[in-house]
Amino acid sequence: MTRPPDALQRLRRVHEDLVLGTLRATGPLSRADIVERTGLSRTTLFAIIADLVRRGAVTEAEARPSGARGRPPTLVALAPEAGQLIGLDLARRRVHLAVANVAHQVVATGTADVSERADAAERAETAVRLIRRVIGERGIGLGSLEAIGLGLHGVVDEPARPAGEGANPAAERLAAEFGVRVAVDNNARLAALAESTWGAAKAVSDLVYVRWSTGIGGGYVVGGRLVRGAHGGAGELGHVSLDPGGPICHCGGRGCLEERAGGQALLEACAARGVAVAGLDELVEAARDRVPEVCALITAAATRIGRVLAGTVVQLDPRRVVLGGELGALGSLVLDPVRAEISRLALPNAAHSLDVVSADLGGNASAMGAIALLLQEDPDIPDHLRPAPSPA
Amino acid sequence: MTRPPDALQRLRRVHEDLVLGTLRATGPLSRADIVERTGLSRTTLFAIIADLVRRGAVTEAEARPSGARGRPPTLVALAPEAGQLIGLDLARRRVHLAVANVAHQVVATGTADVSERADAAERAETAVRLIRRVIGERGIGLGSLEAIGLGLHGVVDEPARPAGEGANPAAERLAAEFGVRVAVDNNARLAALAESTWGAAKAVSDLVYVRWSTGIGGGYVVGGRLVRGAHGGAGELGHVSLDPGGPICHCGGRGCLEERAGGQALLEACAARGVAVAGLDELVEAARDRVPEVCALITAAATRIGRVLAGTVVQLDPRRVVLGGELGALGSLVLDPVRAEISRLALPNAAHSLDVVSADLGGNASAMGAIALLLQEDPDIPDHLRPAPSPA
């Protein structure tokens, strides 16, 4: 967190959120209706609405004449073009952006390329330029911007910490540029949260998500909450050991799943077999073209992932397993071996209902998840305005 | 849940909890102080206190003369001998009991033997007799009894469900006998909750607990909450596959950890090697006597458990791993191999701080955990009266 608001600012934020939350729940309302539903005084409410109108968060319009006597009342409505929450994913080679309006709908997304060698400061500059470009093109106002969620690669220890206390430099830069607080989390975990909020695991509160791409990452949702871990390291599925006597991995462990089934490992296996695929995109294309050697390698890799997931399923008992990332999107080619291995190894006699499905969301999943993080985790948003927890 | 209270009863319960919670937090208070701290009206408060006194939940005593003028006020205090919450563990061969008073302190425990072949009804009768005996011996009143927590072996799908909707028959019997609601959960998970509430992982909100006994079970606490799973099956560590081509386990899987490292498997391995140990207690004794063949078998089993736990640690990133059960209590003999395998396989370069320790609590851990479940999960206890979430 940066710039903690003082008590008076906080109170005004609570009042604002109360008004915006009421409009989100009900649609346009007259001032009298808002007074009744929020319990705010007329004086307080009129001041808040004047400020929200000035900042572009809400608009006013006359209601249609109803046939009743007297002037129709003025209705207050959410402004669809007002950005309230920004989600960013600073991925290895690309910055992804999603913007949610005051109705908490994702109204814009965008991406910008970034060098793999770019440092945090360069990535933050790219993100700032991307935000400015997208809101300019779409006519989105930032007068009601409330927070930024930021997805980062690797271990993210603290989802929100005060400025100057070792926060990520990209988070610092964004907080300074836009004058709002910034919450950060690991981007594979955020993709899991996005799938459970808008995607393939919507309304599923116990979820195991796997991002199968160049590497293998994961994100777990338990009882509707993202599992972060004691040190921000939860979800490192790719570093579960398949073979405790295997070769040493860059993580220091041995026989890690990622080294036997990650996209990079598959590319190396293709090269060793003389199969010409230049990169992950070509590998995925070859799999879609059902090139036999490629399909065999991917099927074997999916079986290994299934073997590790069987252990995860036994321990966490999720309702659904979601395969994301470029390789997770390959449909039955990868889903079937994963399902088969889980069915064979994870308490086959228990007959629990478990789905294994591909992810719904695309490359912007983590940026959207950063918005979901703000909706779910932000302690400044009062409880009664948060989305209801997903039913099991 | 059984006997859902109607709205008026609920309101009275909330008021009662407010008064008891205030006394728990502050110690004895005058009626005037309680009115001030709870915001209840004098009329409401006096009626509640009269009822609590009648039921033996609180007592009244004159304050010591303070030197000030006038009569010293009457102080209201929690009655240490009033039972408010009962925890039970219907284990395979024994029923365990713990009773907490209105101050939420465990004031009595007890056990009774039960046949391994006893059905749910017999176990419930044994539990009823055990409760009656222990409260009789200790002079504990049940006038303020609020709920019973019940630990069961195996998959427990629903921690609390309405009577008649497929609830466990033992839960039904206990609810009928004592006229309170009954919450149920798996007893290994409850032991994990007990360790995180009173034991070896007190104030640790990310915890992996292993119960290493005849079988191998587990319980995970994530972000301060018990992981139950989508079907009540979370924590089945013993059925993670070590060897996907291994022999078929009773769960239907292959090469399960329990078949290679559980107490039963160790006893069979001893028999095959001609080492004379008649049961689990003798096996543990032989290990404490450092019988070489027994120690070698146990060390190898601990290494296998460590191998599975390394995968768990990589995925959940806990702060502490707790080994419970008779075999988990063997100290360095089992802790060292588990630590070594986790250090070798679980992200060695990440240098996260992770403790691996033996459990603190004994055979009544699950019964105590059933009380912790009521304190943490019971939706009828207002949030402000629940124990604060454990800091990381």
CB A148 within 8 A of CB A180: yes
In angstroms, what separates the C-alpha of B61 from chain A's closest C-alpha?
Answer: 41
CB pairs under 8 A between A and B: 165
pLDDT for residue B26 is more than 90: no
What does the alpha-carbon distance between residue A214 and residue A360 come to, in Å, rounded to a whole number?
A: 19
B297-to-A160, B301, B328, B333 alpha-carbon distances in Å: 47, 6, 14, 11
Across the interface, whether the CB atoms of A227 and B345 are under 8 A apart is answered no
What does the alpha-carbon distance between residue B168 and residue B184 come to, in Å, rounded to a whole number?
A: 8
Q: Which residues of A touch B234 (CB under 8 A)?
A: 315-317
What does the alpha-carbon distance between residue A277 and residue A271 come to, in Å, rounded to a whole number?
A: 8
In angstroms, what separates the C-alpha of B235 from chain A's closest C-alpha?
Answer: 5
- Please name every residue paired with A94 in a beta bridge, in sequence order, or none if there are none: A113
Q: What is the mean pLDDT of residues A285-301?
A: 95
| Cα nearest neighbour of B257 on chain A | A311
User: Which one of B209, B220, B239, B321 makes the best mutation probe of the A interface by having the most chain A beta carbons within 10 Å?
Assistant: B239
In DSSP notation, A127-196 reads HHHHHHHHHHHHT-B-TT--EEEEEESS----SS--TTSS--HHHHHHHHHHSSEEEEEEHHHHHHHHHH
Q: Which residues of A touch B223 (CB under 8 A)?
A: 225, 227-228
Kindly state the percentage of chain B with pLDDT values over 70.
Answer: 89
Beta strands in chain A (DSSP E): 29-30, 58-62, 74-78, 83-90, 94-101, 106-113, 147-152, 181-186, 207-212, 216-222, 225-226, 320-324, 355-358
In angstroms, what separates the C-alpha of B112 from chain A's closest C-alpha?
Answer: 31
What does the alpha-carbon distance between residue B277 and residue B295 come to, in Å, rounded to a whole number?
A: 13
Query: What is the residue extent of each domain of chain B?
Result: 7-78, 83-190+366-385, 202-360
Kindly state the percentage of chain A with pLDDT values over 90.
Answer: 61
Across the interface, whether the CB atoms of B241 and A345 are under 8 A apart is answered yes
Same fold? A83-190+366-385, A202-360: yes
| Tens digits of residue pLDDT in A125-154 | 999 999 999 999 988 988 889 899 999 987
Q: What are the tokens at B314?
A: 């990589």
CB B376 within 8 A of CB B343: no
- A83-190+366-385 — its CATH code? 3.30.420.40
| Number of C-beta neighbours around residue B12 at 10 A | 15
Q: What are the tokens at B2?
A: 């059984």
What does the alpha-carbon distance between residue B268 and residue A319 come to, in Å, rounded to a whole number?
A: 36
pLDDT for residue A69 is more than 80: no
Q: Which residues of A touch B315 (CB under 8 A)?
A: 218, 220, 234-237, 240, 312
User: What is the length of chain A?
Assistant: 392
Is the complex ipTM higher than 0.90? no
Of A236, A250, A315, the CB nearest to B218: A315
**What stretch of H or E contains B219?**
strand B216-222
Of A223, A232, A348, the CB nearest to B253: A348
CATH topology of domain B7-78: Arc Repressor Mutant, subunit A (1.10.10)
What does the alpha-carbon distance between residue B205 and residue B320 come to, in Å, rounded to a whole number?
A: 9
Of B228, B229, B311, the CB nearest to A240: B311
User: Where do the H-state alpha helices sit in B318-389?
Assistant: 325-328, 332-345, 365-377
In angstroms, what separates the C-alpha of B309 from chain A's closest C-alpha?
Answer: 10
| Number of C-beta neighbours around residue A279 at 10 A | 11
In angstroms, what separates the C-alpha of A324 from chain B's closest C-alpha?
Answer: 17
| Tens digits of residue pLDDT in A319-356 | 999 999 999 999 999 999 999 999 999 988 886 789 99
The structural architecture, per CATH, of the domain A202-360 is 2-Layer Sandwich (3.30)
Question: A367 or A67: whose pLDDT is higher?
Answer: A367
| Tens digits of residue pLDDT in B32-86 | 999 888 888 888 889 999 999 988 889 988 777 666 667 778 899 988 888 889 9
Beta strands in B127-171 (DSSP E): 147-152
- Residue B215, CB-side half-sphere exposure with 13 Å CA sphere: 18
